[in-house]
Amino acid sequence: MKIAIFGAGGIAQRAYLPILSAWTGIEIIGIYSQTQASVDNVCTEFNIINGTTNAQELVDMKPDAAFVLTNDQTHFQFVEMLLKAEVDVFVEKPMAQNSKEVKFLAQLAKKKGKILMVGFNRRFALLYKKAKEIFKSRKIQLAIIQKNRAKATHTNLYNNFLDDTIHQIDLMRFYCGNVVPLNTFYEKQGGKIVGAVSVCGLYDGGIGLIITSLKAGSWQESVTLHGENFTVEVAAFEKLTIKNHDHEQVFGTDRPSKWIPDMRERGFYGEIEHFLDCVLSRQQPLTNAFEAVQTHQLLEEFVKVAGIKPNESPADGWDKIPRWD
């Protein structure tokens, strides 16, 4: 299979290129980046023959499929270009800047009969998948999904959710299906978002919480599912704990030897394998474009119930934070 890579930045070099360059049956026919220096460096490191700063040149090489790993703001234009050229596409999250753009791309992919998959790698992470399998058909009473970092970078709640929290919003749908956004609480300090809590209702009863802090001691992600006197906790991407009455079972303790590669633990290997399988089988990916539409719509609803518009940036402090009735 002939693959084209669009983007030579950090995510491409850390995750996708090391995996794809070693994948049996895959030929990376070329890579695009905005700067010649990036093209030259990546071509040398990963032994890629063709590199270009002209995206159309790469499209004209007629790849079977492409990976769009450029900066977020350019995802829409490259995905649209590739779909119109009849190329199957994998694109890193977010697929576009809003749900309308995502829906347009989803409809274009359907019209062209092309595979279009978004990189929600958490759905393919080993312990996150295992948590869903273990909880099975049990009714979730409380789902707590967290992501914390030590640095605040966004002045806008929508952009913070789109750039970072979108993984947790997608995981809420992964575990709980469609949910009803109820409220979003957030805090700003020094003009930047430093924390947020989104509350949603589950359709069959229950509560979901998406929590983020950007003043934490370090990066941390977790998922906790409670229901029917049963609890599953995932400390990403290393440990899964099951609690059932007086019984506790732990998975992931075999990882200190690192016999499971980090990119497989984090779901990158799994999502790439799934995409390539879908290209060959013509089956729709688990994280196809229409799934991405629903996740983007949920993200926008969580911002809306915070009482602000997507591009509104309120003053510091808690003066515009919605309160419980």
Task: Give which of 321, 20, 41, 63 is closest to 197, Cα–Cα.
Answer: 321
Q: What does pLDDT average to in each consecutive run of 10 residues of the chain (325 residues)?
A: 97 96 96 96 96 97 98 97 98 96 98 98 96 93 97 94 97 97 96 97 95 96 97 94 90 58 91 98 98 97 86 43 34
CATH 3.40.50.1400 assigned to 2-122+279-288: no
Planar angle of CA 58, 296, 320, nearest 5 degrees: 130
> Which residues belong to CATH 3.30.360.10 in the chain?
123-262+292-304
Beta bridge partners of 89: 66, 116
How many other CB atoms sit within 10 Å of the CB of residue 149? 18
Q: Give the tokens for residue 321.
A: 């934070």
Q: And the tokens for 255?
A: 């990882």
Q: Report the CATH number of the 123-262+292-304 domain.
A: 3.30.360.10
pLDDT in tens, 116-143: 999 999 999 999 999 999 998 899 999 9
pTM metric for this prediction: 0.92
Helix count and strand count (H, E) for the chain: 12, 14
**In Å, what is the CA distance from 9 to each residue of 129, 317, 321?**
28, 35, 36
Long-range contacts formed by 238-246: CB under 8 A, 24+ apart: 238/127, 238/265, 239/127, 240/127, 240/130, 240/131, 240/134, 242/134
Q: Which of 31, 17, 102 is nearest to 61 (CA)?
A: 31
pLDDT digits (tens, 9 = 90+) for 257-304: 454 578 999 999 999 999 999 999 999 999 999 999 999 999 999 999
Quick count: other Cβ atoms within 10 Å of Cβ 250? 10
Residue 113: predicted pLDDT: 98
Question: With contact defined as beta carbons under 8 Å apart, do 63 and 29 qualify?
Answer: yes
- The CATH 3.40.50.720 domain(s) of the chain lie at 2-122+279-288
Q: Are strands 2-6 and 230-235 parallel, antiparallel or unpaired?
A: unpaired
Pairing mode of beta strands 65-68, 88-92? parallel
What pLDDT score does 324 carry? 32
Q: What is the pLDDT of residue 125?
A: 95
Sign of CA dihedral 251, 256, 259, 262: positive
